[in-house]
Amino acid sequence: MTLRVGILGATGAVGQKFVELLDGHPAFEIAALAASERSAGKPYREAANWVGSTEMPEAVAEMEVVACEPGLGCDLVFSGLDASAAGEIERAFAEAGVPVISNARNHRMDPAVPLLIPEVNPDHAALVERQGTPGWIVTNPNCSTVGLVMALKPLVDAFGVEAVSVVTMQALSGAGYPGVSSLDALANVVPYIGGEEEKMAAEPLKILGALDGDAIRPAEIAISAQCNRVPVLDGHLECVSVRLREPVSADAVADALASFESPVAGLDLPSAPARPIRVFDDERFPQPRRHALAGGGMQVSVGRVRACPVIGPAGRGFKFVVLSHNTIRGAAGGAILNAELLLAQGRLTAPVVAG
């Protein structure tokens, strides 16, 4: 079954990544490109200042951009809208009977909205049944949260995690386009990203929490985050320290990460990497330029697993480095994987209700 999909915010950086990744997708066909009123009515090739890593797909180049309003004739929509506009628009689509897979932050912490990473909490998708609208909203996490949670999940399951300290080095593409001024970005590090540290402290607790009836019981983990913008194009690198609940060895931590098996592996989701996490032995790795695109940009890379006596006593304190692709795994690719999971679960169906 092929579903007709719309992209909200299609001319922006995340919207363009949706276009790029959905080109030729076996289950989803782009049927509508929606953006602001200033872009509506123009062919996509004129409305979008294309910044993709490949040429603009021919199939969408002449497609007319329309307004971000229900009535697109789609079975679902992907939202790459900026948070300043996303909240009300996404809610309007859900109320019109259209499923929304969102990259925006507006609804992430709503109690009835799944904050979803398929390899971590696929059961949380059941929350959509509690939203009380003909359609529903599902969100993916902040781009820096994704890599952190993917690395924490195997440790939470195997040993329990009490506390986390994370320092991020986040790529410039995470700021969208035009993003960070060149005078701020070149040969420099900006030690502040608005709202980022708060998201990293809150979002993992919902994602790693347990579905208890019709609500999420948050995980009990103390998280401290410091976020920096660095002059790297793609790939968020994170230095993570964890205090475990049980004493183990560094080798056991590395083995838990390397042997992690995705709970959705048997569903054959097209965007899911064959190996969710790769652990490097080489102390120089992972590096954004070399490894951000591993697994089509959907694999999370981990390296430098070793003891950290500062965060915890012997056998319980460890530190490592995590790398994930911020615009693929942490944005459009993650949202598409969410849609693939929802389709496999039978929560996405055709024909369109009110698209």
Catalytic residues: 143, 236
Reading the block at residue 186, the tokens are: 């070149």
Amino acid of residue 234: D
Give the distance, in angstroms, between the CA of residue 138 and the centroid of all CA atoms in the same chain. Answer: 11
Question: Does a cis peptide bond (omega within 30 degrees of 0) precede residue 231?
Answer: no
Reading the block at residue 323, the tokens are: 């790398």
Q: Give the Å distances, CA to CA, from 205 to 112, 219, 347.
A: 15, 5, 25
303, HSE (Cβ side, Cα atoms, 13 Å): 14
Q: What number of other Cβ atoms are within 10 A of residue 11's Cβ?
A: 24
CB–CB of 305/257 below 8 Å? yes
Residues, the chain: 355
Residue 304, phi then psi, degrees to nearest 5: 55, 45
CA-to-CA distance for 16 and 2, rounded, in angstroms? 21
Residue 212, phi then psi, degrees to nearest 5: -120, 95
Angle at 197 between CA 144 and CA 289, to 5 degrees: 30
Q: What number of other Cβ atoms are within 10 A of residue 242's Cβ?
A: 26
Task: Please enumerate in sequence order all residues whose Cβ is within 8 A of that of 272, keeping only pairs 6 or more positions apart, or say none.
Answer: 118, 119, 262, 264, 265, 298, 337, 340
Residue 297, phi then psi, degrees to nearest 5: 85, 5
> Which stretch of DSSP H or E encloses residue 93?
helix 83-95
Strand 236-244 relative to strand 161-170, pairing: antiparallel
* Burial class of residue 201, CB neighbours in 10 A (0-12, 13-18, 19+): middle
